[in-house]
Amino acid sequence: MRSAGAAATVTRLAQRVVAPSAPTPRGQLPLSWLDRYPTQRALIESLHVFKGRADADAEAEAEAEAPARAIERALAAALVSYYPIAGRLAVSNEGELVVDCTGDGVWFIEAAASCTLEDVDYLEYPLMVPKDELLPHPSYPPESDPLPEDSLILLVQVTQFACGGFVVGFRFSHAVADGPGAAQFMTAVGDMARGHAAPLVAPAWGREAIPNPPGAAVGLLPVPTELRLQYLAMDISTDYIEHLKARFLEQTGGQRCSAFEVLIAKAWQSRTRAAGFAPGSPVHVCFAMNARPALARLGGHGLPGGSYGNCYYIMRVSAPAEAVSDASVYDVVRLIREGKKRLPAEFARWSAGDTDGGVDPYRITSDYRTLLVSDWSRLGFAEVDYGWGCPVHVVPLTNLDYIATCILVRPSAHKPGARLITQCVAADAVDAFHKDMMRLD
């Protein structure tokens, strides 16, 4: 195995803007209230690790199209249908955030690593290659003005490794797509890369279907704190998950629960114990839920098929610290399940502008008592195929180490079960958090 220093060598070979491969409509498209929410201007970052074609002989592999070339070609083709992604975020004459369909294109960077994916453990944690070496960060000639990053919608970097495998680094504007929407576009690129004439799912804009609540409150942006939360990735076995689910079934006399519910309940409980919150102090877990079914219940026609804009609701579940730390994990599962059941009613009230005391359900806070959860396991990233098979590993990345987060992802392809990527406790609580997570009640 190479040394970590040698393994981390990444060379950017070229950068360019990839425009749609055919003419596309021009003009401004409106964004929904949720698309325009202040925190959506962030670029969501992730790494997608592909092993390459294991069954290809050397001669066939030499003649095959390189991953960077195949993905660049497919991007240009997919952008014909998904032409808003080739535009730029702008402010309309009315002062609203919009997509200006300029057809300019998306940033694309081609890079090469001097090592194999095995040398760097397929980017398992800890990363043996700095993430910013694998993410697309454009460079500009000294005489030019760099584009403001928050006007860009998509940046892509394909890094080829010496083994034939590659890593696709994405930076995708949350203002234009939520998680399922971003995965839908990546899947469309895969469709084109594998030779389809058009994306298998035709895209729709559909932003007018998203509620624009009268007088909806918009909370303050998260305030940075001096507390630095520690990154910890944990692989959870299938046996562990099935044990907790079976015990819940037994405890409730026949009610079933999901892997997400038991794992998030366990993480919320373990974190509350490790952090040592005082009895009586409120603790919270917040998780984004797909609001498409709730939207359809409101009347009208809901979102059109193929819509890739933001359509989610952040559910908040709160309890006194001792009700989480001292209860059985199965009681905590019940709290989360009861919270999930509130989605249709809460979303309907929010859509009508009936918020409880002006509370903003979408607010992200740096309050240490609040844990923000995301479920990446079913978004569709793990099924994207550019012609080399599905990724062996998808790595969501976080940049704000003062916001307590927990992300559920699929583990590497050879590991059954689930993976929790957490950044939710301070350094002095990491060991206690990890030990409690690994203990089966």
- Residues marked as catalytic: 174, 385
The beta strands (E) that lie in 339-417 are given as 370-375, 393-396, 405-409
Contact 379, 38 (CB under 8 A): no
- The residue to which tokens 């590993």 are assigned: 393
Choose among 401, 397, 420: nearest CA to 410: 420
DSSP state of 160: E
Choose among 300, 305, 301, 303: nearest CA to 292: 303
Q: Is the peptide bond before 213 cis (omega within 30 degrees of 0)?
A: no
- The residue to which tokens 């509130």 are assigned: 342
Contact 174, 126 (CB under 8 A): no
318-to-284, 324, 342, 371, 420 alpha-carbon distances in Å: 4, 9, 13, 10, 21
Helix (H) or strand (E) holding 5: helix 4-7
The encoded tokens of residue 370 equal 């609040």
